[in-house]
Amino acid sequence: MRGIASSAGLKNRVAKRRVRDDRAARRPASARPGGPRARGAEACERAARRPASAKTPRRTRLHLVARGCPSGYPAGVPTRPVILDCDPGHDDALAILLALARPELRVLGITTVAGNSGVENTTRNALRVLTLLGRTDVPVAAGAARPLVRAGHVADHVHGASGLDGADLPEAAVGPVAEGAVELLARLVRGSPDRVTLVPTGPLTNIARFVRTHAELLPRIAEISIMGGAIGEGNLTASAEFNIWADPEAAAIVLDCGRPVALVPLEVTHAALFRNADIPRLETLGTQTGRVFADLLRFFGIFHHERYGWDGSPIHDAVAVARLVAPGLVTEVPYRVDVETESELTRGRTVVDLHGLRGLPPNVSVGTAIDRPRFIDLLVEAVSRFP
């Protein structure tokens, strides 16, 4: 019986091969295996199969660009329009870089908010990062200088007086657009042919204002991918993570806005550690971008070594971008999440109902773990895309 089955299988494979040969004969020569277009497609497919940890040589990347693979990535990758809402910030800078490097994402614009530093600094820092990366075509709009109802607070004890201390970044080659953050968000969302993903990595003031003033545009939001919150211990207080603590009323509005929301909390981002031993991987790229981000990460690591004794720094904000381009990178579970807005002791705590004790349906996809080596490979590969 085994011999009969093998013989029948062989006949089937031969018949399928004849069908493929007939189809190939009817295709133009340039599209046949070995033709110019086919060779380009085959190169793109080989690039797609390459592990994330395997760096594509520069000559190969240039070949892929010539063969129709933008930025050296495989051609035909579906793109997701995104808007970054951020407060750069060392980890925000890497989030911007990662979003611009990946072919799966199309960055429509960047909005800024006070958080890691005042909004003047965070806006300037976003523009300086774009200047470094040669992407000053991306519009940047300044947003909220303070929370919805509370006094402002900045994290200069972590990020330095400028919000991005530690490296010699170029001065911004362009300025922000005349529109405010909410106006730019509305214009870009309204004008996009596809639903837009928002990626907030700072206090959620801008996004909450957008939700409140442009409810008619909410159906055009595909997802909101947030860096913020904690299931357990906070990082600004014992109860709360900084972004949610800074504007808890805004966070409560966004989490219950009715659109798909993903939350990348400290349990995930504290595991997304860029260790000091990883930094030489950026320096050996031999590029200005690699050197700048190596210096930024060394500075960023000082606070985390003094606070936690860690040998490196968590790249919080880039995880909110990375989960969009690397399926399975972050383990996520749907939970009911509410934000504490009344108690000063637990202000900004994200109350994650792990066991459904309140009997309410989940409203957030909450990250619980990350594949750290894969994440670090994604970051290094992204930095290698820039001069």
| Terminal-residue alpha carbon distance, the chain | 62
Cβ distance 224 to 257 under 8 Å? yes
Alpha helices in 310-353 (DSSP H): 316-325
Ranges of residues in the chain with a pLDDT under 70 are 1-77
Number of other residues whose CB lies within 10 A of the CB of residue 236: 18
So what's the pLDDT on residue 129? 98
So what's the pLDDT on residue 76? 61
The model's pTM is: 0.82
Distances in Å between the alpha carbon of 305 and those of 299, 302, 311, 312?
10, 5, 6, 7
Active-site residue (options: 157, 270, 316, 355): 316
For tokens 């806005």, what's the residue?
Answer: 257
So what's the pLDDT on residue 84? 98
Q: Where are the beta strands (DSSP E) in 161-319?
A: 196-200, 221-227, 261-264, 273-275, 312-314
Catalytic, 159? Answer no
So what's the pLDDT on residue 157? 85
> Any idea which architecture 80-383 has in CATH?
Alpha-Beta Complex (3.90)
CA dist 152 and 162 (Å) reads 16
So what's the pLDDT on residue 74? 54
Distances in Å between the alpha carbon of 76 and those of 41, 67, 69, 70?
10, 12, 8, 9
So what's the pLDDT on residue 41? 37
CA dist 157 and 31 (Å) reads 58
Q: Enumerate the domain spans of the chain.
A: 2-70, 80-383
Q: What does the buried/exposed string (b/e) look like for 155-170 if buried means 16 or more CB atoms within 10 Å of the residue's CB?
A: beebbbebbbbbbebe
Tell me: the pLDDT tens digits for 285-316?
Answer: 999 999 999 999 999 999 999 999 999 999 99
So what's the pLDDT on residue 131? 98
